[in-house]
Amino acid sequence: MGLDLRKPIGYFFLLLGVILTGQGLLTRGAAMYAKSLGININLIWGIVLIVFGLLMLIPALLRKGGGGK
């Protein structure tokens, strides 16, 4: 199949990561983090998602036209 799945997955999690990180930055110290035991989980997990998205995306973009392994 011509569509390399790593690209949509990469873009998807990159986008979610950016949104979550943004939300985390905007709401630093907000009362809602009492739920997540005082941890700004949006910021931390947003960064994790960005890293995951890039891990998927970069190899796919480097290998032009290649599909999977």
Partner 1 sequence: MSSFLPAHGALFLANAVTLAPVDYAILLIYVAFVLGIGFALKRYMKTSADFLTSGRSIPAWVTGLAFLSANLGALELVGMTASGAKYGIATCYFYWVGAIPAMIFLAVFMMPFYYGSKARSVPEYLKLRFDERTRCLNSISFAVMTVFASGISMNALAKLLHQLLGWNYDVSLWICSAIVLAYVLKGGLTSAIYTEVLQFFMIVLGFAPIVYLGLQDVGGWEHLKVLLGGVAQNPAALELNTNTFQPDAWTSAWKPLIGGPTQNPMGVDLFAMLFGLGFVLGFGYWCTNFLVVQRAMAARNMSAARRTPLIAAVPKMIFPILVILPGMIAVGLAVTGKDGYRLPPKPLAAAEYARALPAIKAAAAMDAKAAFESVTAATGMKMNPAKVSALVRDAATLDEATMRNQLQDAVVENDYDGVILSLVKKYCPPGLLGLALTGLLASFMSGMAGNVTAFNTVWTYDLYQAYIAKNKSDEHYATMGRAITVVGILLSIACAYLVSRWSNAMDIIQLVFGFVNAPLFATFLLGMFWKRTTSHGAFFGLLSGISTSALFHALTTSSGNALGIKGGYLWAWAGKTLAELPVRFSFPSDMAQNFWLASFAFLVCFFITLGISLVTARTKNDEELAGLVYSLTPKIVDREESWYMRPSVIAVILLFFCFVLNIIFW
Q: What does the alpha-carbon distance between residue 66 and residue 68 come to, in Å, rounded to a whole number?
A: 6
CB of 14 to partner 1, least distance (A): 11
CA 45 to chain centre: 8
CB of 66 to partner 1, least distance (A): 10
Using alpha carbons, list the distances in angstroms from residue 21 to 2, 3, 40, 48, 66.
32, 29, 10, 9, 31
41 in contact with partner 1 (CB under 8 A): yes
Rule CB under 8 A: which residues touch partner 1? 1-3, 5, 8-9, 12-13, 15-16, 19-20, 23-24, 27, 30, 32-33, 35-37, 39, 41-42, 45-46, 48-49, 52, 67-69
